[in-house]
Chain A
């Protein structure tokens, strides 16, 4: 069989090759300036979470082949009246389903005047001690360091009254209460925690103490009160919406509107066919 191309089809294919080459060049340029931890390149469905990467797996858990990774952000600063004021920034660890992520608002840190940037890092460690009666640790411990101008710089504290948001991923989904706890060197201290994903928990921290997730035993209640949703307590970008009530109403709205639009589109297409447009 011999394929015969019409003039129009031939021109179309020639233009198509030009489009392909242009798109390939644009693709390379786009990815070159792509921020780290950007969403995946191409996927019809998001990837499932990889198995949890323990630094030291507790009994019953297995160690993954790859090591747990830190979340890191280089926070730019601008000169202020009482020192260098940090800009807003976010950091994510590199696992598929980041095990730790943080979001820092503008002004969370105030560094010495000549500081040019602050490196904020959340490093995975083994939990120093079991939670004890009433709970089980279900994540690595994450230690924070905030250093002025890189790893050899001076430690930078949080500004007075400032806080930042942390998301931690637990080893698996559970119906039991999970709370984020800080480790002060001798004991675990619960922090007001919100579930923002199937196994992701968020908290607002006002110290740089190490943190871990603790799953409370059945019947054990958290010792800290449930939080009121606030605009400041939004989860870092890329994570699910945080308010369960508004999430449910949004879902209903989307299902209703989407269903109606699909039905209308289908009706229009059926009507068009019946009127004989071919």
Chain B
């Protein structure tokens, strides 16, 4: 019994539980989405709620502590600019049409929810648990790989390299900003910019 409790108390147990929670939430998202796949707003909303529940269960204090807000906003904005430079170039070389404006508010709300809860989990509570357990580089590596793999069931293996790189960049923002607020700002702004830069 003591061994079990010791194992449960360890930061690595929290990390494992968080990764399992992320994988489970992703499976539920895929199940809810069905044929609509990644375009299902309802599935995205369910995913965000599940992630939030896992994060709050894991570490409510960390979830409510995104870091010093000026630094998070400034460095998050810088991260968003870095993420948007490349899509801007792609956008200028392709002929995209306008998306229906009536769909934007709900889409933006759910996109923001998904981006923020992903960052609360990955670069927030999971990062902190991994940092305490094995150090910052392990935290960077695991959260980057988790971020890359998270997108594979939605888009296929072809996105893995790109999302690993994006995960690395968001991890870099986490390191320089000292909190999960910076990556959340960068991730959210880049996702929202995608409406115009796709």
Taking Cβ atoms with an 8 Å cutoff, the residues of A that contact B are 3, 9, 12-13, 15-20, 22-24, 26-28, 30-31, 34-35, 38-48, 50-51, 53, 64-67, 69, 94-96, 197-198, 237-238, 240-241, 247-248, 250-266, 268-273, 275-277
Query: How far apart are the CA atoms of A54 and B31 in the complex, in Å?
Result: 34
Is there contact, CB below 8 Å, between B136 and A44?
A: no
Query: How far apart are the CA atoms of A3 and B173 in the complex, in Å?
Result: 19
Q: A255-B31, A261-B27 in contact; A48/B99 too (CB < 8 A)?
A: yes
Taking Cβ atoms with an 8 Å cutoff, the residues of B that contact A are 5, 8-10, 13-14, 16-18, 20-21, 23-32, 34-41, 44, 50, 53-54, 57-58, 68, 79, 82-83, 86-87, 89-90, 94-100, 103, 107, 110-115, 118, 136, 140, 154-156, 158-159, 161-162, 165-166, 168-169, 171-178, 187, 190-191, 194-195, 197-198
The A interface is mostly helix, strand or loop, or mixed, namely helix
| B125 to A: closest C-beta gap in Å | 9
Q: A38-B158, A45-B107 in contact; A269/B36 too (CB < 8 A)?
A: no
Is there contact, CB below 8 Å, between A41 and B103?
A: no
Is there contact, CB below 8 Å, between A269 and B57?
A: yes
Q: Name the residue on B nearest A31 (C-beta).
A: B86
Is there contact, CB below 8 Å, between B172 and A43?
A: no
| Chain A residues within 8 Å of B172, by CB | 16-20, 22-23
Of B25, B41, B169, most A-chain CB atoms within 10 Å = B169
| A13 to B: closest C-beta gap in Å | 5
| A90 to B: closest C-beta gap in Å | 12
Q: Which of A48, A269, A272 contacts B107 (CB 8 A)?
A: A48
Q: A47-B195, A47-B198, A269-B57 in contact; A15/B136 too (CB < 8 A)?
A: yes
| Chain A residues within 8 Å of B111, by CB | 43-45
Q: Which of B20, B35, B99, B100 contacts A265 (CB 8 A)?
A: B20
| Chain B residues within 8 Å of A268, by CB | 8, 13, 16-17, 20
Q: Name the residue on A nearest B35 (C-beta).
A: A240
Is there contact, CB below 8 Å, between B97 and A96?
A: yes
| Chain B residues within 8 Å of A23, by CB | 82, 165-166, 168-169, 171-172
Q: Name the residue on B nearest A64 (C-beta).
A: B97
| Chain A residues within 8 Å of B112, by CB | 44
Of B28, B82, B87, B191, most A-chain CB atoms within 10 Å = B28
| Chain B residues within 8 Å of A254, by CB | 27-28, 30-31
| Chain A residues within 8 Å of B26, by CB | 258
Query: How far apart are the CA atoms of A238 and B171 in the complex, in Å?
Result: 28
Query: How far apart are the CA atoms of A260 and B21 in the complex, in Å?
Result: 10
Q: Name the residue on B nearest A18 (C-beta).
A: B172
| Chain B residues within 8 Å of A13, by CB | 175-176, 178
Is there contact, CB below 8 Å, between B30 and A45?
A: no
Given A16-B174, A27-B86, 20 additional A-B pairs, CB 8 A: A20-B82, A23-B166, A31-B162, A38-B158, A38-B162, A41-B194, A47-B198, A48-B39, A64-B97, A237-B156, A247-B35, A258-B24, A261-B27, A262-B54, A266-B21, A266-B53, A269-B54, A271-B8, A272-B13, A272-B17
Q: Which of A9, A12, A50, A255 contacts B28 (CB 8 A)?
A: A255
Q: A259-B24, A265-B54 in contact; A275/B39 too (CB < 8 A)?
A: no
- Between A and B, 7 residue pairs with Cβ closer than 8 Å are A23-B166, A42-B83, A43-B111, A47-B195, A261-B21, A261-B23, A262-B54
Q: Which of A94, A262, A276 contacts B25 (CB 8 A)?
A: A262
Is there contact, CB below 8 Å, between B24 and A255?
A: no
Query: How far apart are the CA atoms of A194 and B1 in the complex, in Å?
Result: 57
| B21 to A: closest C-beta gap in Å | 4
| Chain B residues within 8 Å of A270, by CB | 57
| Chain A residues within 8 Å of B31, by CB | 250-256, 258
Query: How far apart are the CA atoms of A3 and B67 in the complex, in Å?
Result: 13
Q: Name the residue on A nearest B91 (C-beta).
A: A41
Is there contact, CB below 8 Å, between B90 and A43?
A: no
